[in-house]
Amino acid sequence: MKKMIMTLAVGLTLALPGASRVMAAAPRLDAIWARTAADSIVLDGVLDEADWAQAETYTIDYETDAGIPGSGWKSESGWAPVDPTHAVLKFLVRGNQLYLGAVIDDQSIGGSTQFNRFDGLLMGLKDHSQAFSPKPVAEYFYSWWHDELSDPQPVGTMPSFIGAWAELPHGSPRTPEQIAAWDAVTVVNGVTNDDTTPDTGYTVEMRFDLTPMGYDVTQPGGDVVEWNISIYDCDWFWPIDVNQFSANRVWWQGPWGNAAWYNEVRIFASPDVTTSSGPAPNLDPEMVIKNIDTAPVIDGVLDEAVWSDPDVYTFDLRWDGGQSLYDTYDGVGPYRAGQYQPSVNGGEAFVVDPADATVKVYHRGDMLYMGFEMRDAVVQYHPDLDRWDGFIVTADDRVERGTDNQLLTRRLSFQVGENGQAVPQDDLLSFVNAGSAQVALSLMSGTTVDTLGTQADTGYTAELALDLTSLGYPTGLGDGAFFFGVVCMDGDSFLPITDSYGTRTWWYREFPGACCATWAHLETGVSGVPDPDSDIGYAAVTGGSGPSSRPDIRFAMPDPNLVTLEIYDLRGRLVQRRPLGEMAGGENEVMMFSGKRPSAGVYLYRLQMSDPVTGRLRGSLKGKVLLVK
């Protein structure tokens, strides 16, 4: 097997910008830069402004993971598509307006009155104008779903606006204020609702006014927009062709627009990151969990010196802590944290003893350690989840997938038991029984467990140890990406019973399936980009010299791998990122560019190879190619 040999149009091997050999974290697949455009953008469905050519892009394909942890796909008809979705998304900002350009290949375009039998974009945008957290999601639904019409839909029908900035019933005229808040224009290459002649695709140019949603990307340092997208695709329904018909969707991080599921895309924008500012800043993880070479005794007592180590990641959870507490959280934590009081004994009693806890996190090799200190004047045991004293840690498995092809979230729960012991529940119970986890709890001085609230308690502490290989991580933790959230459960019982209540307060994610976990990095000391001399294979570029040609990359690998292709320009800007899925060992060939062929110039490419089971990065192939007119 050859050693990283590039037989290229210009015969050079280059390291890509940002490639680090020390403590590198996994590339963020939940985040992207929206560069600031130099000139105005005309909303006409034609991405012909010069700034679009410099925009960051993201590629989404059906049945290909669009990026962990929340991306997925789903058939809505039971049949696999003959013409699977292939979409290229581009992002820009101008003033406090966010622009989306979507180029979607599609041989059959149209819609109907039936849900899921249409093409289009379903998006969610978190509303930061609201004073409470977690920030609610607003629906931006732009599609060929026309339930106000009748089937068959008129030939040539175009998509309509549904959701936060549209009127009911669907199809009603929108007000000037609604149009100013959100607008789009689509150009179809073909004829909608007519499969007589195959279409080739459609282009959407869309604008979101960020001001009414509480964002300001024009301020120094910019802002981070919380967003997600699901791309619907219905084929050969006009009229229905049973041999080719299918209906499906694929999404980037979150599937819905009116509910916050799984995860979200973090769109970064700043006035100083422009279409001419050179390489975009690295998108670092939201937090780093340090590797500390000390293992505590799991007895529930936080008396080891390591728990006071400043390198241990620490945060507080408090009922009614408010924005001042949320603002101490990293990343989008201030907008995803929250609290909830369920009904107990038929009502919601006044919370006289609010939850007040501190959580600590670090790891030692493959073992994750968490410490919990709960200051609580009423410590109790109750079988009802809504009245637990305890904690729920949600952590994503790196191998197992859910029913929507997203990373499966494990629920690591424990509660205070009748005798003051830790009672593992849910997935944590399975891990404890398998010997891959430990949990212990210790009552603070003067604390007893009861459900009467007649004696003032001081609280409890707990320790949790988890072997991360039980979550599908390889030994050494692979790329170190870790997705989790924490919920503090606090039940207080009194006489009369109508004074009893339960609360839950969470950091980042409340429950499995909810949005959103933090993107954390488990410090490993292992490079996120392999040594360029690693024996991973070879690559060569063929073709590409003609003005309409599309160069191919021919490469070989010793074993099957999950392969991702990244294309950069010479300024280090990402031109395309395409997850190619699992590819066989031996020789392979892929088209270097998907969609529209870029302008002439020199482009850098990187093929990243990861273990198909663990996702661990094995190596990469790099090179460059010259495109001429």
Query: Per-block average pLDDT, block size 10, for the chain (629 residues)?
Result: 28 27 71 98 98 97 96 94 97 98 98 97 98 97 96 97 96 97 98 98 98 98 98 97 96 98 98 95 95 97 97 98 96 98 96 97 98 97 97 98 97 97 98 98 96 88 98 94 98 95 98 97 60 47 50 83 83 76 85 72 83 74 71
Question: Do 186 and 62 share a domain, yes or no?
Answer: yes
Q: Please compute Rg for the chain using Cα positions.
A: 26
Q: What pLDDT score does 596 carry?
A: 63
In this structure, are residues 467 and 367 in contact, taking their beta carbons and an 8 Å threshold?
Answer: yes
CATH number at residue 425: 2.60.40.1190
Single residue among 269, 297, 319 that ends a domain in this structure: 269
**Gap between the Cα atoms of 544 and 388, Å rounded:** 64
Distance CA 47, CA 594 (A): 16
Q: For residue 5, is it within any domain? A: no
Whole-number pLDDT of residue 554: 82
- State which residues form the domain around 491: 287-522
**With contact defined as beta carbons under 8 Å apart, do 508 and 516 qualify?**
yes
Identify the pLDDT of residue 537.
Answer: 55
Residue 279 belongs to a domain: no
Say yes or no: 493 and 614 in one domain.
no
Taking CA atoms, 176 is separated from 95, 121, 160, 306, in Å, by 19, 22, 15, 59
pTM (two decimals) = 0.83
Residue 2 lies in a domain: no
Given a contact cutoff of 8 angstroms between Cβ atoms, the answer to whether 234 and 118 are in contact is yes
Q: Are residues 225 and 89 in the same domain?
A: yes
Asked if 462 contacts 423 with a C-beta cutoff of 8 angstroms, the reply is no
Quick check: 99 and 205 in contact, CB under 8 A?
A: yes
Residues 469 and 559 reside in one and the same domain: no
- Shared domain for 472 and 564, answered yes or no, is no
| Single-letter amino acid code for the residue at 376 | D
The pLDDT value given to residue 501: 97
Cα 291 to Cα 76: distance, rounded to the nearest angstrom = 44
CA distance 64 to 80: 13
Count structural domains, the chain: 3
Task: Give residues with Cβ within 8 angstroms of 363, minimum separation 6.
Answer: 289, 290, 291, 292, 369, 468, 477, 522, 523
CA–CA gap between residue 116 and residue 418 (Å, rounded)? 49
Residues 201 and 292 in one domain: no
Residues 102 and 66 in one domain: yes
Same-domain pairing of 516 and 536: no
